[in-house]
Amino acid sequence: MQLTPFSLLLIMSKEKKQTRIADLGEFGLIERLTKNINIVNKSTLRGVGDDAAVIDYKENCVVFSTDLLTEGVHFNLMYVPLKHLGYKAVVVNLSDIYAMNARPRQITVNLALSNKFSVEAVEELYSGIHLACEHYGVDLVGGDTTSSLTGLTISISVLGEAIPENLVYRSGAKPGDLLCVSGDLGGAYMGLQLLERENEVFKVNQNTQPQLQGYDYILGRQLKPEARADVVNAFEKLKLKPTSMIDISDGLSSEILHLCKNSNVGCQLFEGSVPMDDQTKKMAGELNINPIVAALNGGEDYELLFTLSPEDSEKIKNDPDFTVIGKITEPAEGANLIAMGGSKIPLQAQGWNHLKS
């Protein structure tokens, strides 16, 4: 799937034949969207086509999560191609399952569509959903497609499977544990800033081409994030079980505070240790943003934040994909950022602020 800038997309969508959803009807649309589904998991006994799907994990546990994305709040269709949106909507859900050290197996997809969407637009969205299912070996087993008065809403629920003793919660961190993260942070946020800047330029002059060269990595982080299935596989291979884990959807700062609260511990996060890509830093420089702010509060990185017992630290030492970014302390010490100069700054929860407007 290529990252398509919005101007190109506008042209493409104008050229494609558009079919009104009303011309197909509910059952026709659902049939068209679900006809090519191949079930890949043995646990999926029945998928789409009955009142409910039927799943059998035998002696394993069920892990169950869900997320909702709304147009204008979580995504802007001016610069997010529908196929990418479908892919990302699945990925953000799968990420929650991996964050339990479990493996996603089945999803359901609910869509509410206003009548501005054509059948072809919905198919484009679904092509991204199917691609994510294929990539992560997940079965699409049901859902609901209905209308809305305005905009697009996507609600995805996911079921995952876990051997009970492998589950990792937010609540297991202990003082002395190492605080670790996969990959790098802040890229998705800086990619979003870039897209928003170019979108503003494009709104003024639709003949300009967006200036996106040299920023393919952070654009990909924003438009086509991946969930860290490979990290869960690596833990299995290394016979490593984190003491606690959470995925980074709202920003490092919020997620650390969740771990600390649920585990009843404090922590020290070392500013100088937070891994960031060069493009993240470069874009932050252009926009006069301190890159650590993007990592702490930006969110949408979908990396895994986890804690390890000190005796397990050897197991990840030589893997460049894992970085030790801090340590867990007694709860009385609180959760603090230790800045480059050594000063101690309490971490603050951001969460989303959508409802603040």
Site for a second copy in 121-180 (CB under 8 A): 141-144, 146-151, 153, 155, 157-160, 162, 164, 167, 169-171
- The alpha carbon of residue 189 and the mean position of all alpha carbons in its chain are separated, in whole angstroms, by 12
Please tell me whether residue 35 binds a second copy under the rule CB under 8 A.
Answer: no
Q: Pick between residue 51 and residue 311 the one whose CB is nearest to a second copy.
A: 51
φ, ψ (nearest 5 deg) of residue 158 = -135, 140
Quote the DSSP letter at residue 91. Answer: H
Smallest gap, in angstroms, from Cβ of residue 224 to a second copy? 21
Please tell me whether residue 346 binds a second copy under the rule CB under 8 A.
Answer: no
Measured between its terminal Cα atoms, the distance across the chain in Å is 34
Smallest gap, in angstroms, from Cβ of residue 356 to a second copy? 4
Which residue type sits at 340? M
Please tell me whether residue 106 binds a second copy under the rule CB under 8 A.
Answer: yes
Q: How many CB atoms lie within 10 A of CB 27?
A: 8
Please tell me whether residue 295 binds a second copy under the rule CB under 8 A.
Answer: no
* Closest to 66 in 3D by CA, of 157, 161, 159: 157
Smallest gap, in angstroms, from Cβ of residue 205 to a second copy? 26
Residue 223 contacts residue 191 (beta carbons within 8 Å): yes
Rule CB under 8 A: choose which of 100, 178, 294, 347 binds a second copy.
100
Please tell me whether residue 356 binds a second copy under the rule CB under 8 A.
Answer: yes
Please tell me whether residue 13 binds a second copy under the rule CB under 8 A.
Answer: no
Residue 54 contacts residue 108 (beta carbons within 8 Å): no
- Binding to a second copy (CB under 8 A): which residues in 57-86? 57-59, 61-68, 70-74
The sign one gets for the Cα dihedral 226, 231, 232, 237 is positive
Quote the DSSP letter at residue 8. Answer: H
Q: How many CB atoms lie within 10 A of CB 319?
A: 12
Distance CA 115, CA 151 (A): 9
Please tell me whether residue 355 binds a second copy under the rule CB under 8 A.
Answer: yes
**Binders of a second copy: how many residues, by CB under 8 A?**
78
- Binding to a second copy (CB under 8 A): which residues in 198-257? 245-247
Smallest gap, in angstroms, from Cβ of residue 316 to a second copy? 21
User: Which residues are known binding-site members?
Assistant: 51, 65-67, 74, 96, 126, 143-144, 170, 247, 249-250, 300, 352
User: Which residues are known binding-site members for Mg(2+)?
Assistant: 51, 65-67, 96, 144, 247, 250
